[in-house]
Amino acid sequence: MTTLSFVILLWIGSLVAGLLGALTGLGGGVVIVPLLVFGFGVDIRYAMGASLISVIATSSGASAAYVKEGYSNLRIGMFLEIATTLGALFGAYLAVRLATNLIGVIFGAVLILSALLSFREKPEQAHEVKPNRLAHRLNMDSDYPTPDGRKSYHVRNVPAGFGVMLGAGALSGLLGIGSGAFKVLAMDQVMKIPFKVSTTTSNFMIGVTAAASAGIYLRKGFIDPVLAMPVVLGVLIGSLIGTRVLVRAKSHWLRIVFSLVIVALGIEMIYGALTGRL
């Protein structure tokens, strides 16, 4: 296979990965790594390095729109990024030292868990959350746009959310993914932040988290421009198409179908790790 044909095939595969990531809400990184490892025979650490670069690009593109529309809570995002960045640095430190088969097993388990988390019901908080002293002192309480006008909300359980974010950041650095499902879990379920604010703030955060760990991957030589360039372009275009398809399609059934695909990828990743294919 020539370099040109490799790049074209990789771009097409990344486009599909970005499409799948947008439709499931899990991001293209969860598909990119298995695609590169099993579809193109790329070493898993180089695959994770390319995935991290795509996470930075997609987060930077989408988060600007969410901030402008008033959904993302920048104060919450900047505070929790302390935890995710520390976790990402630790995860990246582990990634360059752990055996590839162990990383593969962890990656497969996280894929399956992320897909299961995407099936959670996502209603807005039905009860009124009372103000929290720490969140108030950090000025985290805010509001966001709704069809009936701007709606205010209060933040709870800041220390617990910070702790979950440490774990989410570590998974991001270790596996080369955005780990958005776990960031949303921390904000939505633990800190009682409305789901729309949680998802948009998570999108804002994952780029910074990925950038922190990408520096270690770059220093260790695990980021290859020949891989990263078509991956970034493909995931960006695929994510754009996915968001437009999601508006017109029945997202419930799309989520089921493509989450099953991600579960299958997770099982394949675990099987490949246990049988020495990584």
- 231-263: per-residue pLDDT in tens? 999 988 887 787 676 556 655 676 677 778 888
| SS3 state at 144 | strand
Whether this prediction's pTM lies above 0.85 is answered by no
The yes-or-no verdict on residue 203 having pLDDT over 90 is: no
Q: How many domains does the chain have?
A: 1
- H or E segment and range at residue 203: helix 195-219
DSSP 8-class letter at 146:
E
Q: Which domain holds residue 176?
A: 3-274
* CA separation for the pair 22, 89 (Å, rounded): 26
Tokens of 93: 């430190």
Tens-place pLDDT, residues 173-189: 999 887 777 888 889 88
pLDDT tens-digit series, residues 20-49: 776 665 667 788 888 899 888 899 999 999
List Cα–Cα distances, 99 to 43, 111, 142, 267, in angstroms.
12, 19, 44, 18
In the numeric block, which tokens belong to residue 139?
A: 């000025």
Q: Is 11 helix (H, G, I), strand (E, B) or coil?
A: helix
Residue 49 φ/ψ, nearest 5 degrees: -65, -45
3-state secondary structure of 152: strand
Token reading at 200: 């948009």
Can you state the percent helix, strand and coil of the chain, rounding each to 5?
A: 75, 5, 20
Instruction: Tell me the C-alpha distance between 167 and 91, whole Å.
Output: 9
Q: 9 near 233, Cβ under 8 Å?
A: no
> How many CB atoms neighbour CB 211 within 10 A?
17
